[in-house]
């Protein structure tokens, strides 16, 4: 039975979803988070929709067994392939990153010329185009898969010559189409924001869905009276909120790279094998 003090479950194919956790901690500091990164089976980007759905369901069942009050799919590829399946399967709020990102992009766009970048799976699914068209039927959308960005970010090559070259190549059609807004439709891309902003120029709005997804989760929990109690409720927390980090593979990589994505150190990662 979910209560306001139950944790929020957030999952991703690996460590990238920690960029989303970071925003949740900023906007919802009283919420306890249990994060699952499927590090044993990352990347999801090139995998088939059926496989990604199967993995996502397994993770959903694991999170449910931890008594979460909501599931947030931080992974764009898993949202694109599995969100409706997860929403049918679990009797609790399941929130993805695509719709919130699409809403933020439409709100930011001045001329209705939008670009979307993501993994091959996310772009191939057409999920962002559908979500944007639903809100802004007249928008022009140019979508492009940028599969090399994920390994470059994991390598920490956020602003090296090879990354610049590849980014220039990927962004050339976006520049040619004069997009005014670019959706960073992948957990890893927010780390490339400074480089992408420099290459595209300051008049192109760069949207990452994390902010809007945390805001949407807050709205959904508030509507169900499931927001965690805050100091404002006359209740005082004695200890800092304790989040849990769980990975499906050995924790070394997670511990090493986690800080880059989360913005603060991770002390402990549990290992849980699925499938
Ligand atoms: N987390 C994935 C996404 O946001 C990127 C990494 C992967 O391919 O699994 O689409």
268 is catalytic: no
Any atom of ligand 1 within 6 Å of the Cβ of 44:
yes
Q: Give the mean pLDDT of the chain.
A: 95
What is the CA(121)–ligand 1 centre distance, in A?
9
What pTM was computed for the model? 0.95
Instruction: Please state which of the four CATH numbers 3.90.1150.10, 3.40.50.1860, 2.40.240.10, 3.30.450.20 is assigned to the domain occupying 8-96+211-271.
Output: 3.40.50.1860
Confidence (pLDDT) at 229: 86
Instruction: Kindly state the helix (H) or strand (E) to which residue 100 belongs, with its residue range.
Output: helix 98-108
Residue 86 makes CB contacts below 8 A (sequence gap 6+) with 56, 57, 60, 71, 73, 94
Choose the catalytic residue: 75, 127, 179, 246: 75
Confidence (pLDDT) at 238: 61
CA distance linking residue 228 with residue 205, whole number of Å: 33
Is residue 144 within 8 Å of 117, Cβ to Cβ?
Answer: yes
Any atom of ligand 1 within 6 Å of the Cβ of 16:
yes
CATH 3.40.50.1860 domain range(s) in the chain: 8-96+211-271, 98-209
Q: What is the pLDDT of residues 49-88, one digit of tens each?
A: 999 999 999 999 999 999 999 999 999 999 999 999 999 9
Torsion of CA 147, 153, 155, 159, to 10 degrees: 110
Confidence (pLDDT) at 239: 64
Any atom of ligand 1 within 6 Å of the Cβ of 11:
no
Confidence (pLDDT) at 2: 87
What is the CA(16)–ligand 1 centre distance, in A?
7
| Segments of the chain scoring below 70 in pLDDT | 231-239
Residue nearest atom 1 of ligand 1, based on CA coordinates: 75
Site of tokens 């088939």: 48
Confidence (pLDDT) at 236: 57
What is the CA(50)–ligand 1 centre distance, in A?
16
Confidence (pLDDT) at 242: 86
Burial class (CB in 10 A: 0-12, 13-18, 19+), 182: buried
Q: What is the CATH number of domain 98-209?
A: 3.40.50.1860
Site of tokens 């994060």: 35
DSSP, residue by residue, 132-193? HHHH-TT-EEEEEE-TTHHHHHHTT-SS-HHHHHHHHHHHHHHHHTT-SEEEEESTTGGGGH
Confidence (pLDDT) at 149: 97
Confidence (pLDDT) at 13: 97
Confidence (pLDDT) at 232: 62
75 is catalytic: yes
Cα 77 to chain centroid, rounded = 9
Ligand 1 atom at shortest distance from the alpha carbon of 186: 4
What is the CA(234)–ligand 1 centre distance, in A?
40
Confidence (pLDDT) at 275: 83
First to last CA, the chain: 25
């Amino acid at each position: 039975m979910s209560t306001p003090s139950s944790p929020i479950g957030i999952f991703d194919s690996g460590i990238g979803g920690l960029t989303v956790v970071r925003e949740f901690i900023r906007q919802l500091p009283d919420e306890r988070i249990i994060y699952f990164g499927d590090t044993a089976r990352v990347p999801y980007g090139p995998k088939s929709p059926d496989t990604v759905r199967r993995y996502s369901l397994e993770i959903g069942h694991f999170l449910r067994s931890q008594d979460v009050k909501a599931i947030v799919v931080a992974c764009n590829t898993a949202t694109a392939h599995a969100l409706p399946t997860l929403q049918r399967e679990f009797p609790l709020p399941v929130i993805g990153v695509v719709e919130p990102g699409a809403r933020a992009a439409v709100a930011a766009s001045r001329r209705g010329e939008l670009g979307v970048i993501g993994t091959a799976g996310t772009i191939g699914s057409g999920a962002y185009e559908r979500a944007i068209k639903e809100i802004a039927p007249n928008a022009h959308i140019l979508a492009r898969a940028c599969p090399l960005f994920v390994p470059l970010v994991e390598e920490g090559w956020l602003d090296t010559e090879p990354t610049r070259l590849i980014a220039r190549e990927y962004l050339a059609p976006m520049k040619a189409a004069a997009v005014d807004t670019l959706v960073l439709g992948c957990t890893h891309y927010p780390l490339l924001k400074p480089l992408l902003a420099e290459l595209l120029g300051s008049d192109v709005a760069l949207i990452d869905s994390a902010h809007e997804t945390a805001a949407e989760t807050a709205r959904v929990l508030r509507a169900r009276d499931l927001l965690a109690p805050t100091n404002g409720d006359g209740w005082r927390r004695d200890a800092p909120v304790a989040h849990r980090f769980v990975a499906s593979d050995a924790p070394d990589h997670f511990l090493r790279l986690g800080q880059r994505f989360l913005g603060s150190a991770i002390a402990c990662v549990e290992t849980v094998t699925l499938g």
